[in-house]
Structure 1
Amino acid sequence: MKLNREQLIASVKEQMPEKRWLHTLGVMETSIQLAERFGSDPVKAELAAILHDVCKYWRVDEQARIIRENSLPQDLLDYDKELWHAHAGAWVARTEYGVDDEEVLDAIRYHTSGRERMTLLDKVVCLADYMEPGRDYPGVHMIREIAEHNLERALLAGFDGTIRLLLDRGKRIYPLTVLARNGLVVELNELMETNEQ
């Protein structure tokens, strides 16, 4: 079933607490700004942002069931439950909301973990989730400042903060996040080498 923007917003809003909906509004607004700043599609960015946390407040056993029964990455189930809603949410966006744009679905799918060779839209939505106006954690102001000029550096700062936090808490780090972080380092190094030539 294909919903228009207003129907989509109404449906997603009713599935989460008010505080999380305010976060979603912040991610929508920030995704549009970042898309316009760095040359991504603002309409796709907003659509991915509306749906990025669509099933975050579903029961975790339901998220796990979606992952298990729909050929989603099974290794997710060995890691933090905070990762599950992204892949489950992309599946829900496709099957329940009729979103068929793979680029949008990928931006939903990888907004928490990142991935190697992130697309511009992946980066925009992931970074918007890190730095929307309602976010308040050590380092977020620095990420916002970097994002004024450099998408990849800002996202790298976000991943570095997440990895540091997980290390401090003695938690496992999802391998895709390490690959995403390393991929950004490679991209930035290649860009520097190009600029030096």
Structure 2
Amino acid sequence: MSEIVYQKLYYPKSRKKLLAVLKKSVSPKRYQHLLGVEQAALRLAELNQVDLEKASIAALVHDYAKERSAADFRSVITKSNLDPDLLNWNNVIWHGVVGAQMIKDELGIQDEEILDAVRKHTVGAPQMTLLDKIIYVADFIEEGRVFPDAQLARTIAYADLDSAVAFETKHTLQYLMSANKVIYPAAILTYNKWVVEN
């Protein structure tokens, strides 16, 4: 797949400049993950007739804040008047929901559809746009992922995006329950919508 040339509709600089910022902001392993998610997102975007530039940007920035400190997140939650309940959670939730605010403030990305895809990429939501679904699923299926059923997840994703959302949601919740991990309430709403109702 050829490199996307940004028309600067959603990010004020080039893809090359965005990559340079990301390379300084995250670890080498995380950077490779971002590139992998972008490739998966572009393929899904082509299959589902979604703007490739939006898919590229959302994929590349989805984990922009993943390696930031808890203090950084708490500061943004307070200064930006985000839901105070967020203070009760951790990086797993913060890097999406609070990370979107950091992306807006620090990278100058204002497009709400891109920011919303970042907000929803960890736990999904009952209502998701095509771009939301693409980033949610691309993060799960990118080629660097090696969990059991990863190849099955990719096969499902490239065949039917909604089925992929359901598969990922069920898989993730099963993992969280088997590991006795806390489940963010929004993830249960996602499960009810995409797994139970569909």
Common fold, TM-score beyond 0.5?
Answer: yes
Q: Distance in 2 between matches of 1:77 and 1:30?
A: 32
Q: In the alignment, which residue of structure 2 is the partner of 1:85? A: 95
Question: For structure 1, which runs of at least 5 residues remain unmatched after alignment?
Answer: 189-197
Q: In the alignment, which residue of structure 1 is the partner of 2:37? A: 27
Aligned partner (choices 11, 32, 35) of residue 21 of structure 2: 11
Q: Distance in 2 between matches of 1:141 and 1:75?
A: 36
Q: In the alignment, which residue of structure 1 is the partner of 2:164? A: 154
Aligned partner (choices 83, 93, 104) of residue 94 of structure 1: 104
Aligned-pair identity (%): 37
Q: In the alignment, which residue of structure 2 is the partner of 1:195? A: none
Does the 8 A contact of 1:79 with 1:172 survive in 2?
Answer: no
Shift of 1:54: 0.6
Does the 8 A contact of 1:51 with 1:89 survive in 2?
Answer: no
Shift of 1:44: 0.4
Q: Deviations over 1:144-178 (max 9, x none)?
A: 11112111111211111111111112122111111
Matches within 5 A, 1:34-113: 34-113=44-123
Shift of 1:90: 0.8
Of stretches 18-27 and 91-100 in structure 1, the one that deviates more from structure 2 is 91-100
Of stretches 179-188 and 137-146 in structure 1, the one that deviates more from structure 2 is 179-188
Matches within 5 A, 1:125-140: 125-140=135-150
SS of structure 2 residue aligned to 1:135? coil
Q: In the alignment, which residue of structure 2 is the partner of 1:191? A: none
Q: In the alignment, which residue of structure 1 is the partner of 2:134? A: 124
Count of aligned residue pairs for this structure pair: 188
Q: Distance in 2 between matches of 1:80 and 1:161?
A: 21
Normalising by structure 1, we get a TM-score of 0.89
Q: Distance in 2 between matches of 1:76 and 1:138?
A: 31
Normalising by structure 2, we get a TM-score of 0.88
Question: For structure 2, which runs of at least 5 residues remain unmatched after alignment?
Answer: 1-10
